[in-house]
Amino acid sequence: QSSVTVGGTLDLGLRQVRNGSVGSQKSEVSGANATSKLIIRGVEDLGGGLSAGFYLDGTILADTGVAGAAAPAGQFWDRRSTVSVASAQLGEVRLGRDWVPTHLVWTGFDPFMTLGIASANTFRSFAASRALGQAFGTAGEATTANPTLRVSNALEYFLPAGLAGIYGQAIVTAGEGGTPAAGGTRGEGFRLGWAGSGWNVAAAQFTTHNAAGDQSFKDQVYGASYDFGVVKLDVAQRRWLFGVDRTVNTQFGAVIPVGRGVIKLTYLRANQTGATAAQSAKDASLLGAGYVYSLSKRTALYAHVAQVENKGAATFAIPGGPAVSGTATAANYFGGQKSTAYEVGVRHDF
Amino acid sequence: QSSVTVGGTLDLGLRQVRNGSVGSQKSEVSGANATSKLIIRGVEDLGGGLSAGFYLDGTILADTGVAGAAAPAGQFWDRRSTVSVASAQLGEVRLGRDWVPTHLVWTGFDPFMTLGIASANTFRSFAASRALGQAFGTAGEATTANPTLRVSNALEYFLPAGLAGIYGQAIVTAGEGGTPAAGGTRGEGFRLGWAGSGWNVAAAQFTTHNAAGDQSFKDQVYGASYDFGVVKLDVAQRRWLFGVDRTVNTQFGAVIPVGRGVIKLTYLRANQTGATAAQSAKDASLLGAGYVYSLSKRTALYAHVAQVENKGAATFAIPGGPAVSGTATAANYFGGQKSTAYEVGVRHDF
Amino acid sequence: QSSVTVGGTLDLGLRQVRNGSVGSQKSEVSGANATSKLIIRGVEDLGGGLSAGFYLDGTILADTGVAGAAAPAGQFWDRRSTVSVASAQLGEVRLGRDWVPTHLVWTGFDPFMTLGIASANTFRSFAASRALGQAFGTAGEATTANPTLRVSNALEYFLPAGLAGIYGQAIVTAGEGGTPAAGGTRGEGFRLGWAGSGWNVAAAQFTTHNAAGDQSFKDQVYGASYDFGVVKLDVAQRRWLFGVDRTVNTQFGAVIPVGRGVIKLTYLRANQTGATAAQSAKDASLLGAGYVYSLSKRTALYAHVAQVENKGAATFAIPGGPAVSGTATAANYFGGQKSTAYEVGVRHDF
């Protein structure tokens, strides 16, 4: 029992989002710099380079005290719930619920780690991203599991450390007769990267076989970063492919250390393609900047600003604003408008 | 990670409630002396009198194993979920879900800490207290968030210690476009008190702006206690004001140390005012007594008795009895009757 | 606070189940060797042989990250949630949610501890076991509380240790006006056993008074095991009695230590009786075998195989296969067919 570690993060901030003519809204938000979460984990040394370990990790919406995901109901350990047997020489076999490898690469390059108003996941919207909506339905993100973030029922293999900077993994997941929206993803994928001499390059793919109509949905990511010391630059691209519908997100980022703080900059584009010219015109871009000041290794204050510009009739909006609609006759129609936001907060790791 | 503390309380008892002619019911109850709960918390010393801290606190219904609140769904940390940055000189800034200041004053004076059959919260009933029902709807307490206990999305400031016994706080909460019943309270309030020389005096107010019809609901508390050594006496009043409807609760209490135990006495009155004489006649009173015997600092046995007397057509009932109705033609009509209860239990802090 | 222990188990495996002509399905499963769970518990020494303690224990479906039971909603600590005061001489008084004594005896004799595909609980099916279905309704097991496993609102007394190997308990539970399916069981029961000289013999009974139609449902178990050193053999019987409907499960088991591992064998029969000859013909049997290899005291690998044979129109199926029906005209009608399964996995205690 001595090996159990209880840890996590509480991160709370204040946000204001203006969605063009629809209006603006203030809110308190959880997890804009690092996800608020509770982690219980441990590792057992089995001798001979072998070890066993477990990892439980669940989201906390610290503004309201809600824990875990809304769907499936009761999914307290929504971020990760795994058991592993690992060999220092041969690598690790892991079972359970875990991150999809594509998300790991995507969030690893984003200066904002896919969190807050300037997140590289701003365009991961079922309502506004056509490829996602067509593959997984247009029910609200909050009430639907979806395999571009994490997957249940996974069997994974991870390469060992010590391969001259090469890292990677393979994954298969059991659908168990269910739908991805209900948490049952039948898929497989991989991640492969190399880190060294200031470089980090990586690529990943995850294919979901039981998306809508039992068509395949492909999620692909690749990226590279180089750390110049005074600044770390990155470029990454994530592609969601579903039949004729595709959303291609391209992200450019910079992280600049400044004393005890760090400045973060991001530029993100979503290039959408659909069956019609109108669908293909629904592109968008995001410009974001942030400053994080560390009070200690565990505690930081932060401030972020971001703006989303929609092209055509695209309706991407920064989360936390008033509800928007893609229906041209709706009072809150948002097609082609701008979403602007700022947020300040405090993050505490424990 | 070494600063994380896992603690809490398990408190279980056996209760019998008789609701006049409606009948009686036995039950096992959780939290009659202290709320059954799980707490995970920690503080980080940042140096120079600065510190950061987090606090997660969730109800356990230990009789059934249910954790957290029923509404909103998944609200595991329903009691508190906060992150703070504090200065020994300047005070504390806190964000998250927390107690309303009015509850802190009210429960601080009540010998029964608003728990169990003799609780000063017995008249905090949506069904029977007209001001609450009109402001927040008459859905069951169990299925509705309401801002007379705790609020989400709060930004708070607390005075530092060392102000000659003066303590206090200010709070604002974001409604985020939701209703209080769904957990979105737009409000603000304060608490101010002084403790010293055996005295404790305090007052608090919290105003909810998005109650029914977007009318303001006012929650006001003030009270005083003095510790004579052989007995500690208190008097406190809580006022719920919503348009013409108001419920004014007045509480008198005594706490008498007896060896390793303590005797607790309470007398509580609810004085209601409505638009009609019949509504204004729905008053009630509660008489309660209890004995708590400490087996250690952490563990105690307790026994409580209490009786509620309804005036007019009031239908206040001690929780845990058979269901009662305020509809005169219902088989379980309870208007103007008495609710009588006793309970015994064990409380264990960990 | 120093007495709080955080522990538990993560157990994940891969399973394939073939349900006769209905087809087969692969899945990832949680808890086939030991239930995946989180436990928070502690004991306080009160001096003079007295102690107080608490125990919180909740299921984790580690394949999806879901914690606790689906019904009642929010029942995170579904396995156990108790507070105790114990005397070394006089025994223990315990309140809260806990195991029914019949399950403790039944699972104690089963080599597979009522878990995985070869579980002695395979015939604990509301849909296929007539006595259970008639008493508690035919809603899915997953969405219904039922008192053959655990009960809420319990008051228990446990015999102290040191009675020459005799152990036992008595239990009463409060129905609180609810139904067993909703978590409110009005019942009482006991467990009595003796362990010594390689023998373990035990019997238990639990009677539910508020089953369907407020009829009594009786749950009886008795069994014996003897440890020869090279093999431990057991025989046990569990009887579910509800009016004319009864299901009698008889189990024979063997556990054979082999180096760092153990071989487990089980044979189980369900003998059903109903109002008609067709109902009485719905018997079934299960044959199961397993091998568990310990990597350490805390971590093990395991492999299980099992087959269920249905007689008459019985429809017992090993969990994890494709959905089956007892309706003769349904496409997935399963009456009288075989369910065959294997599973491999890893268990890690923490």
| Chain B closest-CA separation from residue C173 CA (Å) | 8
Confidence bin at C1 (pLDDT 50/70/90): very low
| Chain A closest-CA separation from residue C5 CA (Å) | 8
Contact assignment for C64 to A81 by CB distance below 8 Å: yes
Burial bucket for residue A30 (CB in 10 Å: 0-12, 13-18, 19+): buried
Confidence bin at A117 (pLDDT 50/70/90): very high
- Any idea what DSSP says for residue A276? S
Q: Cα separation of A168 and A201, whole Å? A: 11
Query: What are the φ/ψ torsions at residue C52 (nearest 5 degrees)?
Result: -120, 150
Q: Cα separation of C204 and C219, whole Å? A: 8
Residue C152 near residue B64 (C-beta atoms within 8 A): yes
| The pLDDT value given to residue C3 | 79
Query: Does residue A181 register a pLDDT over 70?
Result: yes
Residue A57 near residue A37 (C-beta atoms within 8 A): yes
pLDDT digits (tens, 9 = 90+) for C60-81: 999 999 999 988 889 999 999 9
Residue A79 near residue A58 (C-beta atoms within 8 A): yes
| The pLDDT value given to residue B140 | 67
Flag residues of chain B having pLDDT under 50: 1
> Cβ of B294: how many Cβ atoms within 10 Å?
15
Q: How many Cβ pairs within 8 Å bridge chains A and C?
A: 127
CA B200 to centroid of chain Cα atoms: 19
- Any idea what DSSP says for residue A20? G
Q: Cα separation of C251 and A148, whole Å? A: 46
CB-closest option in C4, C95, C97 to B65: C97
As beta bridge partners, residue C15 has C27, C343
Measured between CA atoms, the residue of chain A closest to residue C66 is A75
Contact assignment for B152 to A63 by CB distance below 8 Å: yes
Which residues lie closer than 8 Å to B214 by C-beta, 6 or more apart?
A: none
Q: Cα separation of C21 and B172, whole Å? A: 63
Tokens of C161: 């240790």
CB-closest option in B50, B85, B95 to A28: B95
Chain A residues near residue B52 by CB distance under 8 angstroms:
295-296, 298-299, 346, 348
Nearest to B153 by CA among A58, A25, A38: A25
Contact assignment for B348 to C154 by CB distance below 8 Å: no
- One-letter identity of residue B193: G
| Chain C closest-CA separation from residue B255 CA (Å) | 25
CB-closest option in A27, A296, A346 to B174: A27
End-to-end CA separation in angstroms for chain A? 20
| The pLDDT value given to residue B282 | 94
Residue A130 near residue A245 (C-beta atoms within 8 A): yes
Identify residues of A whose CB sits under 8 angstroms from chain B CBs. 5-7, 10-14, 25-28, 38, 60, 62-68, 70, 73-74, 76, 295-296, 298-299, 301, 322, 345-348, 350
Chain C residues near residue B13 by CB distance under 8 angstroms:
95
Chain C residues near residue A37 by CB distance under 8 angstroms:
none
| Sign of the alpha-carbon dihedral angle for C144, C147, C149, C154 | positive
Query: Does residue A312 register a pLDDT over 70?
Result: yes
- Chains in touch with B (3+ beta-carbon pairs under 8 Å) read A, C
Measured between CA atoms, the residue of chain A closest to residue B151 is A64
Identify residues of B whose CB sits under 8 angstroms from chain A CBs. 1, 3-4, 6, 40, 42, 44, 46, 50, 52-54, 56, 58, 68-69, 72-83, 85, 95-97, 152-155, 174, 176-177, 183
| Chain B closest-CA separation from residue A25 CA (Å) | 7
3-state secondary structure at position B104: helix
Query: Does residue C138 register a pLDDT over 90?
Result: no
Query: Does residue A84 register a pLDDT over 70?
Result: yes
Sorted by where each starts, the structural domains of chain A and their CATH numbers stand as 9-15+22-349 (2.40.160.10)
- Tell me which H or E stretch contains A92: strand A91-99
As beta bridge partners, residue A171 has A156, A189
Confidence bin at A140 (pLDDT 50/70/90): low
| Chain B closest-CA separation from residue C124 CA (Å) | 22
Contact assignment for A73 to C68 by CB distance below 8 Å: no
- Tell me which H or E stretch contains C243: none
| Sign of the alpha-carbon dihedral angle for B347, B350, C3, C8 | positive
Nearest to B179 by CA among B219, B134, B144, B143: B144
Residue B216 near residue B202 (C-beta atoms within 8 A): no
| The pLDDT value given to residue B141 | 67
Which residues lie closer than 8 Å to C309 by C-beta, 6 or more apart?
A: C284, C285, C286, C287, C338
- Measured CA angle at A254 (ends A252, A260), to 5 deg: 155
Q: Cα separation of B207 and B134, whole Å? A: 15
Q: Cα separation of A69 and C173, whole Å? A: 33
Q: Cα separation of A301 and A133, whole Å? A: 35
Query: Does residue A292 register a pLDDT over 90?
Result: yes
| The pLDDT value given to residue C139 | 72
Tokens of A92: 């690790």
Measured between CA atoms, the residue of chain A closest to residue B5 is A6
Alpha helices in chain B (DSSP H): 101-109, 130-136, 277-280
Q: Cα separation of A171 and A156, whole Å? A: 4
Which residues lie closer than 8 Å to B258 by C-beta, 6 or more apart?
A: none
Tokens of A290: 């942030």
CB-closest option in A12, A65, A67 to B95: A12
- Chains in touch with C (3+ beta-carbon pairs under 8 Å) read A, B
Q: Cα separation of A345 and B84, whole Å? A: 11
Nearest to C117 by CA among C332, C319, C293: C319
Residue A226 near residue A151 (C-beta atoms within 8 A): no
| Chain A closest-CA separation from residue B104 CA (Å) | 19
> Cβ of C170: how many Cβ atoms within 10 Å?
15
Chain A residues near residue B44 by CB distance under 8 angstroms:
296, 298-299, 348, 350
| Chain A closest-CA separation from residue C334 CA (Å) | 18
Query: Does residue A220 register a pLDDT over 50?
Result: yes
For the ranges A214-218, A225-229, A233-237, B69-73, the lowest mean pLDDT is seen at B69-73
3-state secondary structure at position B72: coil
3-state secondary structure C158-215: ECCCCCCCEEEEEEEECCCCCCHHHCCCCEEEEEEEEEECCEEEEEEEEEECCCHHHC
Q: How many Cβ pairs within 8 Å bridge chains A and B?
A: 126
Query: Does residue A349 register a pLDDT over 70?
Result: yes
CA distances from B348 to A4, A224, B15, B77 (A): 24, 55, 18, 20
Here the ipTM equals: 0.96
Chain A residues near residue C14 by CB distance under 8 angstroms:
95, 155, 174
Contact assignment for A174 to C28 by CB distance below 8 Å: yes
- Measured CA angle at C106 (ends C103, C111), to 5 deg: 130
Nearest to A311 by CA among A278, A288, A262: A278
Residue C252 near residue C263 (C-beta atoms within 8 A): no
Chain C residues near residue B25 by CB distance under 8 angstroms:
176-177
pLDDT digits (tens, 9 = 90+) for B5-62: 999 999 999 999 999 999 999 999 999 999 999 999 999 999 999 999 999 999 999 9
Nearest to B272 by CA among B255, B305, B250: B250
Measured between CA atoms, the residue of chain B closest to residue A4 is B1
Nearest to A96 by CA among B158, B259, C31: C31
Query: Does residue A150 register a pLDDT over 80?
Result: yes
| Chain C closest-CA separation from residue B25 CA (Å) | 7
Residue B67 near residue C72 (C-beta atoms within 8 A): no
CB-closest option in B5, B14, B350 to C54: B350
Strands A24-30 and C166-173: unpaired
Q: Cα separation of A232 and B274, whole Å? A: 66
The residue assigned the tokens 């029906």 is C325
Q: Cα separation of B225 and C174, whole Å? A: 39
Chain B residues near residue A68 by CB distance under 8 angstroms:
74, 76
| The pLDDT value given to residue A68 | 95
Which residues lie closer than 8 Å to B257 by C-beta, 6 or more apart?
A: B230
Contact assignment for B10 to C96 by CB distance below 8 Å: yes
Residue C246 near residue C272 (C-beta atoms within 8 A): yes
Tokens of A128: 């506004």
Query: Does residue C208 register a pLDDT over 90?
Result: yes
Contact assignment for C65 to A3 by CB distance below 8 Å: no
Measured between CA atoms, the residue of chain A closest to residue C143 is A73
Contact assignment for A153 to C27 by CB distance below 8 Å: yes
Q: Cα separation of B157 and B95, whole Å? A: 9
Tokens of C187: 């019942």
Confidence bin at A271 (pLDDT 50/70/90): very high
Tokens of B59: 């109800």
3-state secondary structure at position A295: coil
3-state secondary structure A336-347: CCEEEEEEEEEE
Q: Which of C2, C16, C64, C349 should we substitute to test contact with A (largest number of A Cβ atoms within 10 Å)?
A: C64
| Chain A closest-CA separation from residue B348 CA (Å) | 22
Q: Which of B54, B79, B146 should we substitute to test contact with A (largest number of A Cβ atoms within 10 Å)?
A: B54
Chain B residues near residue C182 by CB distance under 8 angstroms:
none
Q: Cα separation of A247 and A282, whole Å? A: 10
Measured between CA atoms, the residue of chain B closest to residue C72 is B66
> Cβ of B50: how many Cβ atoms within 10 Å?
17
Chain A residues near residue B49 by CB distance under 8 angstroms:
none
Query: Does residue C182 register a pLDDT over 80?
Result: yes
Nearest to C253 by CA among C237, C229, C234: C234
Nearest to B74 by CA among B127, B173, B145: B145
End-to-end CA separation in angstroms for chain C? 19
CB-closest option in B56, B73, B85 to A346: B85
CB-closest option in A6, A13, A64 to B72: A64
| The pLDDT value given to residue B94 | 98
Chain C residues near residue B301 by CB distance under 8 angstroms:
85
CA distances from A110 to A59, A103, C258 (A): 20, 11, 52
